[in-house]
Structure 1
């Protein structure tokens, strides 16, 4: 049995594994992605793709393919007894090119991701399972078993388990999957629903009833919906068309018809996660590392975001361009995100169980009024929209993010600017910009179709450095930024893409001979969003998060930070 050497073995070809394999190939790693199934499962319980995930997929060149067939959900209507609408909420307040929840069955998402992987030169190897593996300080030895029983030995530098809730990789690592199971069950189906009430194409609909709740999420196709029906503790209702129709007749509008199921399934809810995302040269991602209630529809999104967090770090370390400690930040960043998400979905599921227990007319009416009042509050709608979008996922405690800025006492109070130190108002303005570990915000004019976007200037494979000389830009200031850029390229060649942002609609004379990219910000939107009233810099990671920022732009401090990350 010969041994094949590769860079990364990805186990599992769900959305997480496919996204990871695609990213690894983009970063120049040789990887194999294997899956013991024959193809994408029709039991595609995941459906929602959120704004932050779409932004990451856009960086990978995948978003355009995904956005061809799904539905954009922009509003939710909630109905009570007798078809009376008790609440309406629109998704709002999102600073993104994707201000909606994108609805596409997981099976279709996997098909698109697999097609993009093939376009990048990769392939999913189906009906191929991981039997066992061992690791040493230099790599991982894995034994794969083909459908005909033939064994194959693989030597990989790294192994990533993206193989779901029953992960073979996690079991082999003997990592506890700590948590619990809920008594609430879900019966779910992709069906045709004929509603006797108006329902827009971009509208999710929820129906409240006595001891029951039905959610309808639009899917591609006329009158096609994902129907979710939570069942109270002790209820063992099967997922049959008759049961879906019976329950919907009880809580939905009179005359509604449910038929033509593509698939139906019943499942219990679990809330579990591992304590470690990395053991030596082996990593866990997606459902192999964390599973939780589908409340909020964030499970698949978390897995894809795991993949984007890990891929660039693995590539830099494997190529010897970054320090090995960089890989420890994968657990340090993603584990707290999973813990917070599990806590949130746990609370939501507990609230769901409470609602299913309501029986009296008075309690039901009070619940409906409270929901209607809460969703009428603008700040709460924006908060819920923001949470659902996952735009606020951030890594404030990460060991690989940092900032340098003077104390407030070191800021100028009055007088003319004699150096690059900020004035007090500049200091506070910078404080309102994106902090280390935050998502680097996109900047564009939402009123203009095809408005230029800041994201288009971010390098999809390298760190991007944004250099600002501030509103009071000067020739000396620009010469200093050019010197900083040249020093960076000499010290860390090919690792950082530099962009100088200017508050003009033309290239300033001091930058005429500089070969780098200049971003023209004549309307000041970028400067405003990044708190750049005075000289400062932002270093953006390949996954679109702020790695480091500094006010003013100090070359020595920037280099000192980069030497913590890069070799």
Structure 2
């Protein structure tokens, strides 16, 4: 089989190529740039805990030194403190987001690509044509390294102005300039080290719209990114205006006097909301900013882009290893079904909240009482929970099996990301469940309280384990059997079936070989059609645009 062609060497394209390599699939990454990224301290990304863990697993790097894992969140309105959250405390269930400069994230992923023998990166390679035939695709690049490339599949991770999307003639409707922010990265000391801050209607802003808003996000090495929401149709932000904003903001937060600071970078960040009509055309796919743009109200587009790569990688790998498998087409179609619906839901939530938060009217009909409703919605977007920020759950996916008689309710709904719990691996070692994601096999987890105190060699041949092991070995795809002392809200002897990307397929009460097999078969694309039935074809999923 020919390699997968990945167009674009940003974080999403590099993540996809590394994820494919973990599944044993070779790829070629076409980078239209020179193969390195210009440092821009003001261009940063916020990753939720699970997407940050995904990037760390694939890059082999620890981001603790490169970025900042927030210790808390603080929101203020005028002079009033509205909310304070502490991450990592014993009573707090909210995980700490990771804030990192995009060039540092990309650099770590590029370093991993350079070490990976299954990934070839070609710099100065700009795509200008794609031709598909029955057995694969042929792509042509121009530039110093202009040539023809042969691939099994092609994924456009080439950003908002995606060449792949244009060559596939896919519409990209949406809204332009939903929000604009003036941005500055600077090194200074603020009263809340390690805590991100949202300040609405700060009292020192004597001019401008009533909805003035500034966000402070800590980075590593004492660096902060500050974002000021700009009014619609505002004038250009001149250097003098930006310096004035910096000085008055720092003085307002630091008791009236501006502390010493070093200005590192500035810019203006414009947020667009767009959603591609189709994410798959034959053997070609879209991912990341080429498929969607979002980012108003604190939501993070790159976080969704990494979820695209994680969702698509294992499906492409399964099809690549067995391209003639009848269910492969339905499995590949599910990428668009799942990811487009998840992003469309985020966009709808943001579009519904924008009039309340930015228009000044209508809030009382939604959140009776006060500005605390505003604060709650904005916090959801910035911290990654609720309709604005929570990761997508694929409950309506064609890969979610019908409810079985023995299915039980646990703390994770079918289609949602599985909780990260401590498990015993096949070699007897204790690992985090998340460490087993993205390796190729399905995961079967038995919840068995008390097994942690026994040597694995004793309980592997006792009780229901032999029957469960036999059921796992009979599944239609390679699967790994793990054992957990506990799982949120799961009774003892619950059996969890988890996809390679970490999303829960189902939870069954006890060992049910037939139901486990049927659930696994559905999660892999459904029952294989008979020779009289045509294989499933790509279909467009309607959604918000």
Q: What TM-score range do you get, normalising by the shorter chain? A: 0.7 to 0.9
Q: CA deviation at 1:548?
A: 3.1
Q: Report the CA distance between 1:480 and its aligned residue.
A: 5.0
Asked whether the equivalents of residues 239 and 265 of structure 1 are also in contact (C-alpha less than 8 Å), the reply is no
Aligned partner of 2:480 in structure 1 is 497
- Is 1:443 the counterpart of 2:436 in the alignment? no
Alignment of 1:361-376 (within 5 A): 370-371=370-371
Question: Residues 183-332 of structure 1 correspond to what in structure 2 (within 5 A)?
Answer: 184-193=179-188, 195=190, 198-206=191-199, 208-209=201-202, 210=205, 211=209, 212-222=212-222, 224-238=223-237, 240=239, 242-250=240-248, 253=252, 254-256=256-258, 260-320=262-322, 323-324=327-328, 325-332=330-337
Contact conserved, 1:51 with 1:391, CA < 8 A, in 2?
no
CA-to-partner distance for each residue in 1:174-222, whole Å, 9 max, x for gaps?
1110111136422212223455xx2222343535335232221111222
Q: State how far apart, in whole Å, the 2-side matches of 1:200 and 1:221 are.
A: 11
Aligned to 2:443, which of 464, 484, 499?
A: 464
Separation in 1, partners of 2:382, 2:100: 24
C-alpha contact 2:298 2:381 (8 A) present in aligned 1:
no
Going from structure 1 to structure 2, the CA distance change for 1:93 and 1:462 (only over 3 Å counts) comes to same
Listed one character per residue, the Cα deviations across residues 472-498 of structure 1 (whole Å, up to 9, x for unaligned) are 9xx9995554234225425546x1112
Q: What is the alpha-carbon distance in structure 2 between the residues aligned to residue 194 and residue 350 of structure 1? A: 35
* 1:311 aligned counterpart, secondary structure: helix
- Corresponding residue for 1:532? 491
Unaligned runs of 5+ in 1: 358-362, 407-420, 422-426, 446-450, 502-518
Q: Deviations over 1:290-344 (max 9, x none)?
A: 0023432421110011000000110011101862111111011101111011123
Q: How many residue pairs are counted as aligned between the two chains? A: 489
Instruction: Assess, with a 3 A threshold, how the Cα gap between structure 1 residues 399 and 187 changes in structure 2: closer, same or farther.
Output: same
User: Partners of 2:414 and 2:184 in 1: how far apart?
Assistant: 42
* 1:88 equivalent among 83, 90, 95: 83
Whether 2:55 is the aligned partner of 1:57: answer: yes
Task: Indicate how the Cα distance of structure 1 residues 206 and 375 shifts in structure 2: closer, same or farther if over 3 A, else same.
Answer: closer
User: In the alignment, what sits opposite 2:116?
Assistant: 120
Structure 2: give runs of 5+ residues left out of the alignment: 424-429, 452-458, 529-545
Aligned residue among 12, 23, 35 for 2:8: 12
8 Å CA contact 2:58–2:109 kept in 1: the answer is no
1:183 and 1:382 mapped to 2: Cα distance?
A: 15
Q: Deviations over 1:113-137 (max 9, x none)?
A: 1112222233532221111111122
Structure of higher CA gyration radius: 1
Asked if 1 retains the 8 angstrom alpha-carbon contact of 2:182 and 2:230, the reply is yes
Deviates more, 1:99-108 or 1:549-558: 549-558
Say whether residues 1:547 and 2:505 are aligned partners. Answer: yes
Paired residue for 2:400?
Answer: 401
Matched, 1:344 2:349: yes
| Structure 1: distance between partners of 2:220 and 2:391 | 28
Aligned: 1:562 with 2:501? no
- Deviation of 1:432 (Å): 3.6
Closer/same/farther in 2, CA of residues 458 and 543 from structure 1, 3 Å limit = closer
Gap change, CA 1:141 and 1:123, over 3 Å in 2: closer
